[in-house]
């Protein structure tokens, strides 16, 4: 039952957060879950050991396309401690994060990609299960698959579905061809980005326990309700017969949005054996058998008149995905709205390949789309002999350039100006390849950042007990982002209790459902649900006090008005409990809601070896109210590091004969390490978004990854005079 619902219909009245006398929201607060994490008492999925636990290891397809013709497990099953080899239609494949509650689509013998699960081997220890899985003999008939997206580009077709209407598959206005031919300056080139892995620190892990016909899964998922519904469909259960617990998640980045094979395998095996089963993926399995960011081939054509005004913006993306899947990488997302210009064309097409499922990865579309767009802007600025910031200033739109609707808030220009100041852009190197420091070539680059602000329905329960302690309960997760802390801050400020008096419980599908952690919407959506619950609690406390709610002040555990001062605990009786709910409303279609930023960096390239080093970094962001300066800064830094990885090192390499991922661990899939990253200066502008939600906040989590890779690439060009459009920019490409 929901006690208070807020619809996102702007404008919001003054946010109640602004009435807190000593606010914690907006300040830097360390994570309230930090002590549990560093002391090892925060228990992650794989750290559950229920009585009678058995261990499953996924058996995976050794071909990229074809049929399994035989599975000989005789020797494996005779090994000590081995309990079963289970092959089951339901095991085969997850439906991806945008598949709703859809069940897997393939048969157990049909293979669509290398590493696809074709069974699960269960034993009484993980080592025995692994040894047995390695002893299973699989025979097969390989079929010719499609493993090379570039070679198959001619087969590209539009995506089957504009997922939730979010991604604007194809938009077109004016005449891009004719205008491009008349332009004073033109850039027309192709940028390529490879498959990437989310590479979360914690691999996927599930522990399945059946009790009285109900399945409990200790697992690592970003949106446990979505995963619960998918798993229920796969298992032929009602959602109420499945409970997923994900109180701690060691990183997700989109790779833990949809149900993954380890969850299905654990559930099936536990039911089959009548005892709990744990399935933990190895890093290799995460790379081969979960999901990846699809690769892209992006043609960007930009044209401008002599005054530096964009006349053509064209961005055509070809990406790859398994047959039958709806998700596609929407690389043109930001191109719809970042700059003004009359003649526009944004398009997406998909080549169906036999490679690991493509799923959302941190800032799907925007992260790698802005890699191409913001590099193209740099090239255009050079063609016009214009400062790249000035080019952006001259093309700042007043409204959404395609839809004509207003922006809810847009501080891109301020981000560019502040960032330029903080970095010292005025004294940058102006001659590509012209600045040397000993054997190092030094270059400076910048790029803009934009990430759409999304909203999903969310619920949260807030209770005040008889002692005045506050408990927040929602199925929402904390994937490392700071959710525990941010939700506690909102409740603490709105109810006027110290932060230490607030407890937060997350990641249990038996609690009120949220929109989960994804798409940078987590803090604002679940925070708004907490806000709705707290606003209703204030009304109830006011009723108990016999005073109008707007005359009361909530602070220091006291409820105060003129001539009135009582501890909150005295007004709650045996306790109060309210469930708050937020729903998308008119504001979500009447305004474009986007967070913005600007990145500036210095790159050093060794003139002899080509070694690339990022030496200096400044980013400025505007994302509405910043709820927690510390956790938001950490998100922004993490995003920038993600962008640097995308620019310089990250690539899942597929064997062209089978699609198999050949770099199988973090020793070969290179994410930046501390030694690769300079101090990153992050600055948030003061901003309130008047229409996004009652917190007046926009998303932060994925903003840092947008544009940051382009700043690196532009700095590499500035250092070396070499434009690399084929990512990652490894040293062989600049020599």
Where does this chain bind ligand MOS (CB under 6 A)? 222, 252-254, 257, 360-362, 364, 518-519
Q: How far is the CB of 252 from ligand MOS (least distance, A)?
A: 5
> Please, which residue, 637 or 706, has the CB nearer to ligand MOS?
706
147, 285, 442, 643, 721 from 710: Cα distances, Å:
28, 30, 16, 8, 15
| CA nearest to 210, candidates 56, 88, 53, 46 | 53
> Please, which residue, 123 or 454, has the CB nearer to ligand MOS?
454
Give the whole-angstrom CA distance, residue 45 versus residue 221.
Answer: 10
DSSP 182-237: T-SEEEEEEEEE-BB----SSPPEEEEEEETTEEEEEE--SSHHHHHHHHHHHHT-
Q: How far is the CB of 363 from ligand MOS (least distance, A)?
A: 7
> Please, which residue, 360 or 409, has the CB nearer to ligand MOS?
360
Give the whole-angstrom CA distance, residue 490 versus residue 496.
Answer: 10
Q: Which two tokens stand for residue 151?
A: 């070679």
Angle at 43 between CA 37 and CA 47, to 5 degrees: 130
364, 479, 631, 706 from 252: Cα distances, Å:
13, 6, 16, 17
> Please, which residue, 66 or 247, has the CB nearer to ligand MOS?
247
Angle at 58 between CA 57 and CA 63, to 5 degrees: 145
Give the whole-angstrom CA distance, residue 323 versus residue 575.
Answer: 54
First to last CA, the chain: 64
69, 336, 376, 400, 405 from 311: Cα distances, Å:
57, 14, 14, 16, 20
Neighbours of 173 (CB within 10 A): 14
> Please, which residue, 446 or 705, has the CB nearer to ligand MOS?
705
In the residue annotation, 702 being an active-site residue is answered as: yes
> Please, which residue, 250 or 518, has the CB nearer to ligand MOS?
518
Handedness of CA 403, 406, 408, 409 (dihedral sign): positive
Q: How far is the CB of 454 from ligand MOS (least distance, A)?
A: 9
Q: Which two tokens stand for residue 358?
A: 């493509």
The answer to whether 708 and 639 have CB atoms below 8 angstroms apart is yes
Give the whole-angstrom CA distance, residue 714 versus residue 720.
Answer: 10
> Please, which residue, 362 or 418, has the CB nearer to ligand MOS?
362
Catalytic residue among 329, 402, 475, 702: 702
Give the whole-angstrom CA distance, residue 150 versus residue 720.
Answer: 28
> Please, which residue, 367 or 576, has the CB nearer to ligand MOS?
367
> Please, which residue, 222 or 619, has the CB nearer to ligand MOS?
222
- At 404, which helix (H) or strand (E)? none
Which residue, chain included where needed, has tokens 């469909």? 233
Q: How far is the CB of 588 from ligand MOS (least distance, A)?
A: 17
Task: Please tell me what DSSP assigns to residue 481.
Answer: S
> Please, which residue, 261 or 516, has the CB nearer to ligand MOS?
516
Q: How far is the CB of 255 from ligand MOS (least distance, A)?
A: 8
Q: How far is the CB of 253 from ligand MOS (least distance, A)?
A: 6
Q: How far is the CB of 637 from ligand MOS (least distance, A)?
A: 17
Give the whole-angstrom CA distance, residue 707 versus residue 714.
Answer: 11
Q: How far is the CB of 223 from ligand MOS (least distance, A)?
A: 9
Give the whole-angstrom CA distance, residue 168 versus residue 42.
Answer: 41
Give the whole-angstrom CA distance, residue 601 versus residue 92.
Answer: 45
> Please, which residue, 312 or 361, has the CB nearer to ligand MOS?
361
Q: How far is the CB of 483 from ligand MOS (least distance, A)?
A: 13
Which residue, chain included where needed, has tokens 């105060």? 560
Q: How far is the CB of 519 from ligand MOS (least distance, A)?
A: 4
| Beta pairing class for 680-684 and 612-622 | parallel
| CA nearest to 449, candidates 604, 584, 617 | 617
Give the whole-angstrom CA distance, residue 85 versus residue 134.
Answer: 12
Q: How far is the CB of 516 from ligand MOS (least distance, A)?
A: 9
Count of residues in the chain: 735
**Residue number with the smallest Cβ distance to ligand MOS:** 254
If phi over 0 gives left and psi between -120 and 50 gives alpha, with beta otherwise, what is residue 503?
A: beta
Residues assigned a catalytic role? 702
């Amino acid at each position: 039952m929901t006690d208070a619902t807020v619809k996102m219909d702007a404008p919001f009245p003054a946010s109640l957060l602004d009435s807190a006398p000593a606010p914690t929201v907006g300040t830097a607060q360390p994570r309230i879950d930090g002590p549990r994490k560093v002391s090892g008492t925060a228990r992650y999925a794989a750290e559950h050991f229920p009585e009678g636990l058995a261990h499953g290891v996924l058996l995976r397809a050794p071909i990229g396309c074809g049929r399994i013709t035989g599975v000989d497990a005789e020797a494996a099953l005779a090994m000590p401690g081995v309990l079963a080899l289970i092959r089951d239609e339901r095991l085969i494949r997850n439906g991806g994060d945008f598949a709703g509650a859809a069940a897997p689509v393939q048969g157990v013998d049909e293979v669509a990609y290398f590493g696809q699960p074709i069974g699960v081997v269960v034993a009484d220890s993980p080592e025995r299960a692994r040894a047995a899985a390695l002893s299973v003999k699989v025979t097969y008939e390989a079929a010719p698959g499609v493993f090379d997206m570039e070679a198959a580009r001619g087969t590209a077709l539009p995506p089957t579905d504009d997922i939730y209407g979010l991604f604007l598959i194809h938009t077109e206005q004016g005449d891009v061809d004719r205008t491009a031919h008349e332009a004073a300056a033109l850039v027309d080139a192709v940028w390529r980005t490879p498959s990437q892995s989310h590479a979360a620190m914690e691999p996927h892990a599930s522990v399945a326990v059946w009790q009285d016909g109900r399945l409990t899964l200790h697992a690592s998922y970003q949106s446990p309700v979505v995963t619960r519904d998918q798993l229920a469909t796969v298992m032929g259960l009602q959602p109420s017969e499945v409970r997923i617990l994900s109180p701690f998640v060691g990183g997700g980045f989109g790779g833990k949005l949809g149900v993954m094979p380890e969850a299905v395998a654990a559930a099936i095996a536990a039911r089959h054996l009548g005892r709990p089963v744990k399935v933990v993926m190895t890093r290799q399995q995460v790379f081969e058998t979960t999901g990846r960011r699809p690769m892209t081939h992006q043609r960007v054509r930009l044209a401008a008149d002599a005054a530096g005004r964009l006349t053509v913006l064209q961005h055509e993306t070809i990406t790859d995905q398994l047959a039958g899947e709806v998700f596609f990488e929407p690389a043109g997302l930001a191109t719809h709205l970042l700059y003004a210009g009359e003649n526009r064309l944004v398009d997406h097409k998909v080549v169906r390949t036999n490679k690991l499922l493509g799923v959302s990865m941190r800032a799907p579309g925007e992260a790698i789309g802005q890699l191409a767009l913001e590099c193209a802007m740099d090239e255009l600025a050079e063609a016009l002999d214009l400062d790249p910031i000035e080019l952006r200033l001259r093309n700042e739109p007043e409204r959404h350039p395609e839809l004509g609707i207003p922006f809810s808030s847009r501080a891109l220009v301020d981000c560019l100006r502040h960032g330029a100041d903080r970095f010292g852009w005025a004294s940058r190197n102006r001659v590509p390849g012209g600045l040397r420091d000993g054997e190092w070539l030094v270059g400076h680059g910048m790029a803009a950042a934009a990430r759409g602000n999304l909203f999903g329905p969310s619920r949260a329960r807030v209770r005040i007990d008889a002692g005045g302690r506050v408990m927040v309960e929602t199925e929402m997760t904390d994937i490392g982002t700071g959710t525990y802390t941010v939700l506690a801050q909102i409740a603490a400020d709105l109810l006027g209790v110290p932060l230490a008096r607030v407890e937060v419980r997350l990641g249990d599908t038996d609690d009120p459902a949220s929109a989960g952690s994804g798409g940078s919407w987590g803090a604002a959506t679940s925070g708004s649900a907490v806000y709705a619950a707290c606003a209703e609690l204030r009304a109830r406390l006011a009723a108990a006090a016999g005073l109008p709610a707007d005359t009361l002040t909530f602070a220091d555990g006291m409820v105060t008005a003129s001539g009135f001062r009582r501890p909150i605990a005295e007004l709650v009786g045996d306790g109060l409990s309210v469930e708050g709910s937020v729903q998308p409303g008119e504001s979500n279609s009447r305004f474009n809601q986007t967070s913005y930023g600007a990145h500036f960096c210095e790159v050093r390239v060794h003139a002899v070896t080509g070694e690339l080093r990022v030496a200096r970094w400044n980013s400025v962001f505007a994302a509405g109210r910043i709820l927690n300066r510390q956790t938001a800064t950490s998100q922004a830094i993490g995003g920038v590091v993600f962008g640097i990885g995308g620019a310089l090192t990250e690539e899942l390499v597929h064997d062209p004969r089978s699609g198999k991922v050949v770099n199988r661990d973090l020793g070969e899939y290179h994410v930046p390490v501390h030694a690769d990253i300079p101090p990153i200066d992050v600055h948030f502008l003061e901003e309130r978004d008047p229409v996004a939600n009652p917190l007046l906040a926009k998303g932060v989590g994925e903003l840092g990854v947008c544009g940051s890779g382009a700043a690196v690439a532009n700095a590499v060009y500035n250092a070396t005079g070499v434009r690399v459009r084929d990512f990652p920019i490894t040293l062989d490409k600049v020599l």
